[in-house]
Amino acid sequence: MKPFTTFVFLFTLCVAVLPPLIVAHPTNVTKLIRQACAHTAHKALCVDTLAADPISQGAANKTGLALVALRVASQNASDITELIKASVNDPSLAPAVQQGLSDCMDNYVDAAQQLDDSLAALLAGAHDDLSIWVNVAIADSDSCEKSIQGFKTEMSKENVKFRMLCENALAIAKAVAVAGN
């Protein structure tokens, strides 16, 4: 089996055995979730993500949903880090791919940290800071994408999804900043 094929196989296997992040529960989609997701660019992902999170159901306002959206994005960054960790030392991978993945792992460790900072900023009502930290997390993901350019890996898909989760969280948080709840 070629190194690339091995990696794709391993990665797909890892993704398959991980508990699914998004399970659509149409019955759980509250009016508040629909309102919050209306502000986002990736509405279907937003609705699925928030509906799948039990905390969203009890959220009294958009701030609560913004917290959930940021937490989901942060968790996604941590999950990606774990995924990479599981496959980065695979000896069948080409050294360049290993290096690229290792860089990605560093990027996602940082991204998770930045999103934790953005959670703290949201709780403190510091919306400018929140915007900075989410954008830095997106930039970290972009750096990962650069590291693996030219290699056929599942990482690109993960990067796209992570970016979408961040953009959604940012959009909901912006709506909170404007409306004040």
- Between 92 and 131, name the residue whose CB sits nearer to other proteins: 131
- Between 48 and 110, name the residue whose CB sits nearer to other proteins: 110
For the chain, the first-to-last Cα distance in angstroms comes to 54
Q: How crowded is the C-beta side of 177, counted as CA atoms within 13 Å?
A: 17
Residue 26 and residue 55 in contact, taking contact as beta carbons nearer than 8 Å: no
Rounded distance between C-alpha atoms, residue 12 and residue 26, angstroms: 27
- Between 51 and 130, name the residue whose CB sits nearer to other proteins: 130
User: Most distant CA pair in the chain: distance in Å?
Assistant: 56
Number of other residues whose CB lies within 10 A of the CB of residue 174: 17
DSSP secondary-structure letter at 18? Answer: S
Residue the block writes with tokens 């004040």: 180
- Between 90 and 116, name the residue whose CB sits nearer to other proteins: 116
- Between 65 and 148, name the residue whose CB sits nearer to other proteins: 148
Q: How many residues does the chain have?
A: 181
**Shortest Å, Cβ 111 to other proteins:** 12
**Shortest Å, Cβ 121 to other proteins:** 11
Residues that bind other proteins (CB under 8 A): 117, 128-129, 131-132, 135-136, 138-139, 143
**Shortest Å, Cβ 176 to other proteins:** 17
**Shortest Å, Cβ 139 to other proteins:** 5
Rounded distance between C-alpha atoms, residue 176 and residue 103, angstroms: 34
**Shortest Å, Cβ 21 to other proteins:** 25
What is the rounded (10 degree) CA torsion for 125, 134, 107, 160? 150
- Between 90 and 106, name the residue whose CB sits nearer to other proteins: 106
**Shortest Å, Cβ 102 to other proteins:** 16
